[in-house]
Amino acid sequence: MEQEKVIQIRDLKVYYKQYRKNIFGKKRRHQVLKGVSIDVFEGEILGLAGESGCGKSTLAKAIVGMNKDIEGEINLKYSDTQMVFQDPYSSLNPSKKIGWLLEEPLRVDKERKWTPKERKEKVLEIMKAIGLPKEMLERYPSQLSGGQRQRVSIGVALMRSPKVIIADEPVSALDVTIQAQILQLLQQLNRDLGITILFISHDLRVIYQICNHVAIMKHGEIKEYGIPYEVYRNPQNDYTKELLTAAGIK
Output the smallest distance, CB 228 to another protein, in A: 9
Amino acid at 165: I
Count the neighbouring beta carbons within 10 Å of the beta carbon of residue 197: 24
Q: How far apart are CA 155 and CA 146, in angstroms?
A: 14
DSSP annotation string for 192-238:
HH--EEEEEES-HHHHHHH-SEEEEEETTEEEEEE-HHHHHHS--SH
Q: Give the length of the chain.
A: 250
Q: Does residue 175 belong to the site contacting another protein (CB under 8 A)?
A: yes
- Residue 28 interacts with another protein (CB under 8 A)? no
Neighbouring C-beta atoms of residue 90, cutoff 10 Å: 12
Question: x-or-dash pattern for another protein, window 176-195, by CB under 8 A?
Answer: xxxxx---------------
Is 18 a binder of another protein (CB under 8 A)?
A: no
Minimum separation from the CB atom of position 135 to another protein (A): 22
Min dist. Cβ of residue 244 to another protein (A): 9
As to burial, measured by CB atoms within 10 angstroms (0-12 exposed, 13-18 middle, 19+ buried), residue 43 is middle
From the number of C-beta atoms within 10 Å of its C-beta (0-12, 13-18, 19+), residue 2 rates as exposed
Of the candidate residues 10, 28, 30, 205, the single one contacting another protein (CB under 8 A): 205
Interface with another protein (CB under 8 A), residue from 56, 58, 67, 85: 85
Give how many residues touch another protein by CB under 8 A: 55
17 binds another protein (CB under 8 A): no
The Cα 155–Cα 118 span in angstroms is 16
Nearest to 184 by CA among 248, 129, 247: 129
- Pick the stretch among 39-47, 121-129, 131-139, 197-205 that binds another protein (CB under 8 A): 197-205
| Residue with smaller CB distance to another protein, 35 or 136 | 136
For residues 25 and 37, which CB has a smaller minimum distance to another protein in the complex? 25
Regarding 196 and contact with another protein (CB under 8 A), the answer is no
Q: How far is the CB of 168 from another protein (least distance, A)?
A: 9
**Chain residues in the site for another protein (CB under 8 A):** 20-24, 51-52, 64, 66, 81-83, 85-87, 90-96, 104-105, 108-110, 153, 156-157, 160, 175-180, 202-206, 208-209, 229, 232-233, 242-243, 245-250
